Amino acid sequence: MAARHFLKFSALQADEARRIVARAIELKTARPEHRPLLGRTLAMIFAKSSTRTRVSFEVGMSKLGGHALMLATAQTQLGREEPLSDTAKVLSRMCDAIMIRNDSQADQEELAHHSRVPVINGLSELHHPCQLLADVQTWFEHRGDPRGKVAVWVGDGNNVCNSWIEAAKLFGFTLRAATPHQYRPAAEVLKFAGKSVELIDDPAKAAAGADLVVTDTWTSMGREAERAERMQILAPFQVNRKLMSLAAKDAIFMHCLPAHREEEVTAEVIDGPQSVVFDEAENRLWAQMALLEFLLVP
Ligand code: CP
Ligand code: NVA
């Protein structure tokens, strides 16, 4: 049977996504002897920096009884132009799953095509699906089922924004995206989400009455050369106290981290009472453990 991959959030059916999130919450209280991945290995290919993704996958594998291998691209033969297809074939003969973080969704798809074992997207230029498992879990834990609610994305229509939009469709909430026209979310993602996503130019209008406000860095990894231009274009899209005051009274604030205080979000908001960013970061661990179980334990 072909391996099941997780390269974007929409690779899941709605009921599967709900099951994984529910399991993630349950795993927080699992007994330490729950070790379904005993003797199994996850290869983690990183072409870009990471704190949360690396640590959460490594700790998660270890908690489930398995092992994770850190493969920094530059230190592997991938960094010396060994084809991805050969790498996929070799890793799938020794490892039970592969996680990859790079700047090419197309390359991740190629890797998956040649892999006998599940391939997980740990971030690409287009998607960050593991982040959304943790984010939806966090929303459930703080405010219950997000079905019928409204989240507002303010800022760059980037990889994390695309995954939020796909999650909106699967979990039945509305995602209002307030982004400059230069940095809109991906067209294919907007098409997938249909009426679950609304593009609203004015961040104040988008934030009105929202249940959740979320943003991310204005300069994603790999876009550093555009930083000055982005700072200027995105300046009106900062999440600050004034913007938060337009959202629902009990609205929560999310950010996948790493954050840049006084750029996309003020310190007052990210370090304030509505912020749940550290629960969100911790949930990367539980959500990915649930994902690994879903992909690897029949
Ligand atoms: N949110 C996130 O993916 O963080 P890292 O870049 O630290 O992995
Ligand atoms: N959008 C950011 C997310 C980092 C976790 C980036 O791609 O750098």
Q: What is the pLDDT of residues 164-176, one digit of tens each?
A: 999 999 999 999 9
* Percent of the chain with pLDDT strictly greater than 70: 100
pLDDT exceeds 90 at position 290: yes
For 248-284, the pLDDT digits (tens) are 999 999 999 999 999 999 999 999 999 999 999 999 9
Closest alpha carbon to 264 in 252, 273, 274, 253: 253
Return the bridge partners of 198, or none: 176
Q: What values do phi and psi take at 150, rounded to 5?
A: -125, 125
d(CA 156, CA 183): 6
**Beta 119-121 vs 97-101: how paired, if at all?**
parallel
pLDDT exceeds 80 at position 239: yes
Closest ligand (CA of 130)? 1
Is 209 strand, coil or helix? coil
CB-based pocket (< 6 A), ligand 2: 123, 158-160, 216-217, 220-221, 256
Q: Are 196 and 165 in contact (CB under 8 A)?
A: yes
d(CA 48, CA 30): 32
Residue 278 burial (10 A CB sphere; 0-12, 13-18, 19+): exposed
Active site members: 101, 128, 131, 216, 256, 284
Residue 257 CA, ligand 1 centroid: distance in Å:
6
For 84-143, the pLDDT digits (tens) are 999 999 999 999 999 999 999 999 999 999 999 999 999 999 999 999 999 999 999 999
What are the structural domains of the chain?
9-128+283-296 (3.40.50.1370), 131-280 (3.40.50.1370)
Residue 103 CA, ligand 1 centroid: distance in Å:
14
Helix extents (H) in the chain = 14-27, 52-63, 84-94, 105-113, 129-143, 159-171, 187-193, 203-207, 227-234, 241-244, 267-270, 277-296
Q: Is the CB of 51 under 6 A from ligand 1?
A: yes
DSSP state of 6: B
Q: Are 244 and 273 in contact (CB under 8 A)?
A: no
Return the bridge partners of 18, or none: none
Q: Is the CB of 158 under 6 A from ligand 1?
A: no
